Structure 1
Amino acid sequence: MSEPTDPLIRTVSLDTPIQRGETSIATLQLRKPRSGELRGLSLVDLGQLKVDALTKVLPRITVPPLTEAEVGNMEVADLLACGAEIGSFLLQKSQRMDVLGQ
C-alpha cells in the first residue's frame, strides 16, 4: 500500500499481477472516488469491504482501468489491499488523522 502523501491517489502493489494479454499489471493507482462514481453503491457496503461493492467501484477509479471481470479474478489479498485504501478515502480528514495517530 502507499504512503498517504497524496490525498487523492493511492498506489497498491499487487501480490499477484493481473495479466491482460501480454501486459502484466503489478501496481494499481486508486483515485479518490467522487460522489458520482459511487452512484448505485452503498457507502456502508464499501466501508464493510463487501466484494460486490468493491467489484463495482474499482473499475471506476483504477489506473489503468480494470474491468469487473479482472477485479473478480483478483487475489483476495490484493482485493483487500485495494479495499483498505478505498476505506481510507471514505474518512474525513480529521478521522484519518485520528487513525494515523497524528
Structure 2
Amino acid sequence: MSDKQQPDTTDVKHVYLADPIPYGEKKLDHFTLQRPRGGALRGIQIQSIGLQDFDELCKLVPRISSPAITIGNLCDMDAADILQVSHKVLSFFEMRAS
C-alpha cells in the first residue's frame, strides 16, 4: 500500500493489488470499480455474486472496471487479490443509509 492510495466512496472502489498482473506491456498494480447499474447486471446471477462465485465475478468486473479488467486478467490474479476484488464488488450491494 502506498501513500498515494485513493479512499473508496459509495460509488467508486479502488483495488490495489498485492501482486501486480501483466497488462499490455506493463504491470497493473491498481484499478477502480464503479458501482454497477442495471445494465451492467444484465445476465448476472446476483445471488452468486453474494456467494463470491468466480464465474459471475468474471462477467461483472469487466463491465465496471477501469482500466478494463478482462477474464484473463482475473485468472492471472493472486487468490488474495481476487478475494479483495470480490469484497469490493460485494460492498456495492450493501444497503445505503437513507
TM-score, normalization: structure 2?
0.86
Quote how far apart the aligned CAs of 1:2 are: 6.6
3-state SS, counterpart of residue 86 of structure 2: helix
Instruction: Give every structure 1 segment of 4 or more consecutive aligned residues whose post-TM-superposition deviation is greater than 6 Å.
Output: none
Amino acid across the alignment from 2:24:
G
Unmatched segments (≥5 aa) in structure 1: 95-102
- Once the two structures are superposed, the pairs formed by residues 60-99 of structure 1 within 5 Å of their partners are 60-94=63-97
3-state SS, counterpart of residue 90 of structure 1: coil
TM-score, normalization: structure 1?
0.83
Identity of aligned residues (%): 30
Establish whether residue 34 from structure 1 lines up as the match of residue 40 from structure 2. no
Unmatched segments (≥5 aa) in structure 2: none
Question: Of Structure 1 and Structure 2, which has the larger fraction of its residues in helix?
Answer: 1
- Once the two structures are superposed, the pairs formed by residues 17-32 of structure 1 within 5 Å of their partners are 17-32=20-35
Q: 1:59 aligns with which of 51, 57, 62?
A: 62
CA distance in 1, matches of 2:42, 2:6: 26
Quote how far apart the aligned CAs of 1:7 are: 1.2
Question: Aligned pair count?
Answer: 93
Question: Could you tell me which residue of structure 2 aligns to residue 14 of structure 1?
Answer: 17
- String of CA shifts for 1:44-98, please: whole Å, max 9, x gaps: 000111100111111111111011111122111111101101111011113xxxx
